[in-house]
Amino acid sequence: MKKFISYYKPHWKLFVIDMICSFLISLCTFAYPFVTEVIMDKENIKAGKFDLILLFCGLLVLIYIIKAILNYVVQYWGHILGVRIQADMRKELFEHLQSLPFSYFDENKTGTIMSRIINDLMDIAELAHHGPEGIFLSIFSIIAATIYLSIRVNPLLAILLCMIIPFVLVFAIVRRKKMKAAFKKMREETGEINARVESSVAGIRVTKAYTASKDEIRKFNESNKAFQKARAKAYHEMGVFNSGMGLFTDIFNAIALVGGALLLYVGLNENINLNINLGFNIGINEAQLTAYLLSASMIINPIRTLISIFEQIQNGMTGFARFTEIINMKPEKEAENPVHVEGLKEEIRFDKVYFKYSEEENPDWILNGLDLSIKKGKTVALVGPSGGGKTTICHLIPRFYEVSDGAIYFDNVDVRDISFNSLRKTIGIVAQDVFLFTGTIKENIAYGKLDATDEEIIEAAIRANIHDFITGLPEGYNTFIGERGVKLSGGQKQRLSIARAFLKNPEILILDEATSALDNITEMQIQQSLESLSKGRTTIVVAHRLSTVKNADEIIVIDKTGIVERGNHFELIKTNGIYANLYQYQFKE
Ligand code: ADP
Ligand code: MG
| pLDDT tens sequence across 505-514 | 899 999 998 8
Shortest-distance atom of ligand 1 to CA 393? 6
- The Å distance, Cα 22 to ligand 2 centre, comes to 61
Which pLDDT score, from 0 to 100, does residue 183 have? Answer: 85
- Ligand showing the shortest atom-to-Cα distance for residue 383: 1
Which pLDDT score, from 0 to 100, does residue 94 have? Answer: 93
Which pLDDT score, from 0 to 100, does residue 490 have? Answer: 81
Whether 156 is in the pocket of ligand 1, judged by its Cβ within 6 Å, is no
Q: Whose CA is nearest to atom 14 of ligand 1?
A: 387
Whole-Å CA distances, 490 to 324, 430, 493? 40, 14, 5
Whether 357 is in the pocket of ligand 1, judged by its Cβ within 6 Å, is yes
| Spatial CA neighbour of 500 closest among 533, 471, 470, 464 | 464
- The Å distance, Cα 556 to ligand 2 centre, comes to 14
Which pLDDT score, from 0 to 100, does residue 397 have? Answer: 94
Q: Check whether 273 has a pLDDT greater than 80.
A: no
Q: Check whether 106 has a pLDDT greater than 80.
A: yes
Q: Whose CA is nearest to atom 24 of ligand 1?
A: 357
* C-alpha span between 183 and 238 (Å, rounded): 9
Whether 388 is in the pocket of ligand 1, judged by its Cβ within 6 Å, is yes
Which pLDDT score, from 0 to 100, does residue 14 have? Answer: 92
What is the SS3 assignment for 235? Answer: helix
Residue, of 176 and 463, whose pLDDT is higher: 463
| pLDDT tens sequence across 485-507 | 888 888 888 889 889 988 998 99
**Pairs from 463-469 (Cβ < 8 Å, separation ≥ 24):** 463/499, 463/502, 463/529, 463/532, 463/533, 464/495, 464/496, 464/498, 464/499, 464/502, 464/526, 464/529, 465/495, 465/522, 465/525, 465/526, 465/529, 466/492, 466/495, 466/496, 466/498, 466/499, 469/495
Q: Is the dihedral of CA 504, 510, 516, 521 positive or negative?
A: positive
Residue, of 410 and 123, whose pLDDT is higher: 410
Whether 557 is in the pocket of ligand 1, judged by its Cβ within 6 Å, is no
Tell me what the mean pLDDT of segment 10-28 comes to: 91
Q: Check whether 240 has a pLDDT greater than 80.
A: yes
Q: Per the confidence metrics, is the pTM higher than 0.95?
A: no
- The Å distance, Cα 392 to ligand 2 centre, comes to 7
* C-alpha span between 242 and 359 (Å, rounded): 44
| Spatial CA neighbour of 104 closest among 332, 324, 407, 433 | 332
The overall average pLDDT reported for the chain is: 87
Q: Check whether 483 has a pLDDT greater than 90.
A: no
| Spatial CA neighbour of 142 closest among 305, 299, 376 | 299
Query: Within 10 A of 149 (CB to CB), how many other CB atoms are there?
Result: 26
Q: Check whether 34 has a pLDDT greater than 90.
A: no
CB 339 within 8 A of CB 413: yes
Which pLDDT score, from 0 to 100, does residue 275 have? Answer: 67
